[in-house]
Chain A
Amino acid sequence: MSRRACISLKSVVWGIALSPLLLLLYRFLTNGLGANPISYATNLLGDTTLRLLLASLALTPLRILLGISWQMSLRRLLGLFAFFYACLHFTVWIAVDHFFEWGELIPDIVKRPYITVGMLALTLLTPLAVTSTSGMAKRLGGRNWRQLHRLVYLIGLLGVLHYLWLVKKGVNDPYLYAAILAVLLGIRLWDWARREGWLGRPAWFRGGYSPARAADDMRGD
């Protein structure tokens, strides 16, 4: 991809990723947050975190299925935005919802499974954000870095679990997110099993190879 195309692609992603925050600011300034503004903000920020997390997990499946790889350059951007929104989500909970009442906050982290897993997800995201720069990737070495960043699969699971555990019966959105996550992880699993040679390769699939994958395959064959 040309430098120009890369910059415009990233600008578009910046715009999309910032829009929930801008919406929140706009509604805040125009008194449009509804009857329960704090709950509205918490939920909007939580939803955005989960969506960005799933978006960052969707890039590799696109490469596996379509053989395209220009989107891979967005991984860091989407991951960092997910971390950014998770921090905002967490900050609203501490500073606005509970106003630094540590006597309420600490027991909640320990006693409420949905808070515990949310906290765990945020904690695990932190080292990934810190090591997201190219410099850090070099310092860690590609192999270590890749292994560390596999934590994002677990973080995705914890994010969905957090949502499943906080809603009341009759709310179906978390199941939708769970299904999407299952598909995204399932494609990776299938690709891995296929590369290990555990699966036959359907003929219709031949078109969808990336050069990197083709090289892998040659070695495998």
Chain B
Amino acid sequence: MLIRHAPNIAPSEITDYQLYLNRRSFLIGMAALALTPITSTAVAAPPAGTPLPARRSEQFTLEDPLTSIENITTYNNFWEFGPNKDDPARLAHLLKPRPWTVQIDGLVARPRRYDIEELLRLFPMEERVYRLRCVEGWSMVIPWIGYPLASLIKRLEPTSKARFVEFTSLLDSAQFPGQRKSLFSVSSLDWPYVEGLRLDEALHPLTLLTFGLYGQVLPNQDGAPVRIVVPWKYGFKSAKAIVRIRFVSEQLKTTWEKAAPSEYGFYSNVNPTVDHPRWSQATERRIGEFRRRKTLMFNGYAEQVAALYAGMDLRRNF
């Protein structure tokens, strides 16, 4: 089934995110009256499917038919849950996206810690339809909801020494079974998951700080409660379940770079002319389609981002 637009879910059917927030603060208020010391662990996460209102962006949209929400929420690479495509959907209930804070530090004028609710309300939400190209050779078209990461970064005022941004995902093997070590884990990633962008990439208007998709808050298996989306890079560059954003002066080593330096570079821009050492990147299978299609340079965003890499050898800086 091809769905052209995010469905309009009647507000009467599901609790609106604002309503959910109001009701929650009411409940917390009541609880505060009843029990004097109230811990933040009393905060409940918005139930799956809670609507997240957003204005549809005319500028950042695509003609491509959307991938179904079912496929977007059942076919995931999220190694923290496990390496199989169905592990994230199966184990998503273990992740608790509330309470949640994001630590901002490093080379920044205003280091601080944001509560997720505050971060959500910092800037108006936009819905943007982006292509997502996985390094494994499949792709999707997803209506994300969020605001430009640049808006947040400008408010934080990185210092003149800041040249890279590091994103750290949650480390907690109780919520992320893929982080558990067992007798049989011969091969595993270095946790927590760390990703990075050059500051100008992070400031690019396409880079989205993302809180939802398909009109709803992010499902846990898609990186709740907050992730980035960098549509011209392979999917693994878009860090999920972010707990820390740090500004640094030197290029950092990302998780996949540490795991296999010859296979995953820092840039990892979608590039049909530079193969992964073990498979070709010339074509991809769009989920929901039968025949492979040609992969586009920078995942079809060359016009917007090619200038970032002017003069660079993309074969060496893969």
- A: residues with CB less than 8 A from B are 34-36, 38-39, 97-99, 101, 104, 107-108, 111-114, 165-172, 175-176
Contact = CB atoms under 8 A, between A and B. Distances in A.
Contacts of A38: 285
Interface residues of B, number: 31
Contact of A168 (B71, B83, B86, B186): B83
A211 to B, nearest CB: 39
A97 B83 CA distance: 22
Contacts of A114: 278
B292 interface: yes
B113 to A, nearest CB: 30
Interface of B: 70-71, 74-75, 79, 83, 85-86, 136, 138, 178, 184-189, 256, 259-260, 275, 278-280, 282-283, 285, 287-288, 291-292
Contacts of B178: 170
A32 to B, nearest CB: 12
Contacts of B136: 168
Given A34-B86, A101-B292, 20 more contacts: A34-B74, A35-B71, A35-B74, A35-B75, A35-B287, A36-B85, A36-B285, A38-B285, A99-B292, A107-B280, A108-B279, A108-B280, A111-B275, A114-B278, A169-B189, A171-B187, A172-B83, A172-B186, A175-B184, A175-B187
B278 A169 contact: no
Contacts of A168: 83, 136, 259-260
Contacts of B187: 169-172, 175
Contacts of A165: 278
Contacts of B280: 104, 107-108, 112
A176 B185 CA distance: 10
Closest 10 CB pairs of A and B: A35-B75, A35-B71, A169-B259, A175-B186, A171-B83, A35-B287, A170-B189, A170-B83, A170-B79, A169-B187
A112 B279 contact: yes
A5 B133 CA distance: 54
B184 A35 contact: no
A199 to B, nearest CB: 29
Given A169-B260, A170-B178, A172-B185, A39 B83 contact: no
23 contacts: A35-B75, A35-B85, A35-B287, A39-B138, A97-B292, A98-B292, A99-B291, A108-B280, A165-B278, A166-B278, A168-B136, A168-B259, A168-B260, A169-B189, A169-B259, A170-B79, A170-B188, A170-B189, A172-B83, A172-B184, A172-B187, A175-B187, A176-B184
A111 B83 CA distance: 25
A213 to B, nearest CB: 34
B195 to A, nearest CB: 15
Nearest to B184: A172
Nearest to B70: A35
A98 B137 CA distance: 12
A113 B83 contact: no
A61 to B, nearest CB: 22
Nearest to A40: B85
A87 B39 CA distance: 60
A112 to B, nearest CB: 6
A38 B280 CA distance: 17
Contact of A36 (B75, B185, B256, B278): B75
Nearest to B77: A168
Contacts of B292: 97-99, 101
Central interface residue in B187, B275, B285, by most chain A CB within 10 Å: B187
Contacts of B256: 169
Contacts of B83: 167-168, 170-172
